[in-house]
Amino acid sequence: MTDRFDAIVVGAGPAGCAAAYSLAKSGLQVMLVERGRTPGEKNVSGGILFGQALHDLIPNFWEQAPLERRITSRCLTFLSGKSSVTVDHTRTTSKTAPHDGFSVNRYKFDQWFAKQAEEAGAMLAPGIRVDGLLWKDNKIAGVCAGGDEVFSDVVIAADGVNSLLAKEAKLRKDHNPHEMGLGIKEVINLPREVIEERFNLSGEEGAAYSFIGCTKGFPGGGFLYTNLDSLSLGVVVHLSAFSKAAVKAPDLIEHFKSYPSVSRFLRDGDLLEYSAHLVPEGGYGAVTKLYTDGLLVTGDAAGLTLNVGYALEGMNFAIASGVAAAQTVERAKVIGDFSKHSLKRYEQILKDSFVLKDLKTFQHAPAFLGSPRLHNTYPALVNNLVTALFSSRGVPRPKLLTLLIKMVLGEASIPGLLIDAVKLVRGL
């Protein structure tokens, strides 16, 4: 085994696999180190993969990747007590559109992606935990892993939300609970035909539901995604909720599952998996420093995740940032300069792409999503309004606008509404 590489990529999630694949394709000597015995072993995602970035890297990847379902139905549900209101957007088309997304099982998907990197020429080293950066003369010279020193011109940190490497290089601080979410996820086993009947799907069609109003009033939301023969469901809740209140992760997911509009999909299903994972959701303001001499930080390690309430995107941001890091390293190799002056190009590539553009556009989304009324008052309001619209009680009814004003003023204060309206316009 050679102990010197052009690049060492730490972490075989979407960011690391994308970086290693791109570098290997360009003929660089690259090692992809993963602490799991197999890539994806412990990785957690909802997970809808928006596939455009991967399609740009591996055209028509859906013809070979182990995907679950093509998302053809997107639903947003407002929950309140035993009532729910769903906005359902369904597109029946036989054409695959990578941007509509696919449900994925990370255990299978990450293994496949790491194998693509390996087949392209990267050296995959699973079951090895990187303990830290290797420093020589105050410069990053590789990594330390399992008592060994492995040298490289550059290290790409793709080690996820708790990135040890970004912290050691002082590119990120300790996590701020106001910029983090805790995702709690279950996978429920159900026969394929039951899923297709319950969600009105056929073939590889898939449904993805996002829920608002299911987190006991804490900032957060729920999700329910169809896989081939299982369902992925869970909640992502602002981490600050756990420090302020005596709320526990298992209670939150049980509460979510107790809503009739959720439980009807889960009936007779068996629990296959339970997991919990942090989600960096501080947005643009919480993105870490992205590079220093000999080091680039990608994906969740850099805080490159977008949460806009109705959708959570991290895997596509991770892939695009991994590719951008690889492009930067390829050029650095050509000019023989791995200093921060050369590696700053990485930030520019991200600024020119959807990654930092979208995070900047939605930089105020976290402030809007943090409003407690969004998770309590407004879902109740939407449900009460729709209930009133579709009932005839044998008494005179006001017109729609009068009803709306009466209900809104009954549930929320004018200053609160104004604050949220401003946050909504600024945030989304």
Ligand X SMILES: Cc1cc2nc3c(=O)[nH]c(=O)nc-3n(C[C@H](O)[C@H](O)[C@H](O)COP(=O)(O)OP(=O)(O)OC[C@H]3O[C@@H](n4cnc5c(N)ncnc54)[C@H](O)[C@@H]3O)c2cc1C
Q: Which residue type sits at 36?
A: G
Q: Which residue type sits at 173?
A: K
**Least gap, CB of 3 to ligand X (angstroms):** 17
Instruction: Please tell me whether residue 117 binds ligand X under the rule CB under 6 A.
Output: no
Instruction: Please tell me whether residue 234 binds ligand X under the rule CB under 6 A.
Output: yes
CB nearer ligand X, residue 297 or residue 380 = 297
Decide: 272 and 185 in contact? Cβ < 8 Å. no
User: Total residues at the site for ligand X (CB under 6 A)?
Assistant: 42
Instruction: Please tell me whether residue 316 binds ligand X under the rule CB under 6 A.
Output: yes
* Residue list 171-190, contact with ligand X (CB under 6 A): 183, 185
Neighbouring CB atoms inside 10 A of 370's CB total 18
Q: Which of these segments, 21-29, 243-251, 296-304, 344-352, binds ligand X (CB under 6 A)?
A: 296-304
**Least gap, CB of 292 to ligand X (angstroms):** 18
- Nearest alpha carbon to residue 44 among 158, 183, 171: 183
State the DSSP string of 357-413: HHHHHTTTHHHHHT-GGGGTHHHHHHHHHHHHHT---SS----HHHHHHHHHHHHS-
**Least gap, CB of 351 to ligand X (angstroms):** 19
**Least gap, CB of 223 to ligand X (angstroms):** 7
**Least gap, CB of 49 to ligand X (angstroms):** 6
Decide: 214 and 235 in contact? Cβ < 8 Å. yes
CB nearer ligand X, residue 81 or residue 132 = 132
Neighbouring CB atoms inside 10 A of 277's CB total 19
Instruction: Please tell me whether residue 288 binds ligand X under the rule CB under 6 A.
Output: no
Instruction: Please tell me whether residue 14 binds ligand X under the rule CB under 6 A.
Output: yes
Token pair listed for 41: 């072993």
Using only the alpha carbons of the chain, give its radius of gyration: 23
Among 76, 236, 296, 323, binds ligand X (CB under 6 A): 236
Among 97, 164, 424, 428, binds ligand X (CB under 6 A): 164
CB nearer ligand X, residue 35 or residue 364 = 35
Instruction: Please tell me whether residue 12 binds ligand X under the rule CB under 6 A.
Output: yes
Instruction: Please tell me whether residue 230 binds ligand X under the rule CB under 6 A.
Output: no
Among 9, 10, 134, 166, binds ligand X (CB under 6 A): 10
Token pair listed for 282: 């501080």
Instruction: Please tell me whether residue 16 binds ligand X under the rule CB under 6 A.
Output: yes
**Least gap, CB of 298 to ligand X (angstroms):** 6
CB nearer ligand X, residue 15 or residue 241 = 15
- Nearest alpha carbon to residue 311 among 235, 239, 210: 210
Instruction: Please tell me whether residue 233 binds ligand X under the rule CB under 6 A.
Output: no
CB nearer ligand X, residue 50 or residue 377 = 50
Q: Which residue type sits at 169?
A: A
Residue whose entry in the numeric block shows the structure tokens 């990197």: 117
277 in helix, strand or coil? strand
Among 100, 159, 186, 358, binds ligand X (CB under 6 A): 159
Q: Which residue type sits at 91?
A: R
Instruction: Please tell me whether residue 313 binds ligand X under the rule CB under 6 A.
Output: yes
CB nearer ligand X, residue 159 or residue 196 = 159
Q: CA-CA distance, 153 to 148, in Å (whole number)?
A: 17
Decide: 400 and 407 in contact? Cβ < 8 Å. no
| 136-to-44, 60, 191, 198, 297 alpha-carbon distances in Å | 35, 43, 56, 59, 20
**Which residues in this chain contact ligand X in the complex, by CB under 6 A?**
10-16, 33-36, 39, 42-49, 129-130, 158-160, 164, 183, 185, 234, 236, 277, 279, 299-301, 305, 312-316, 318
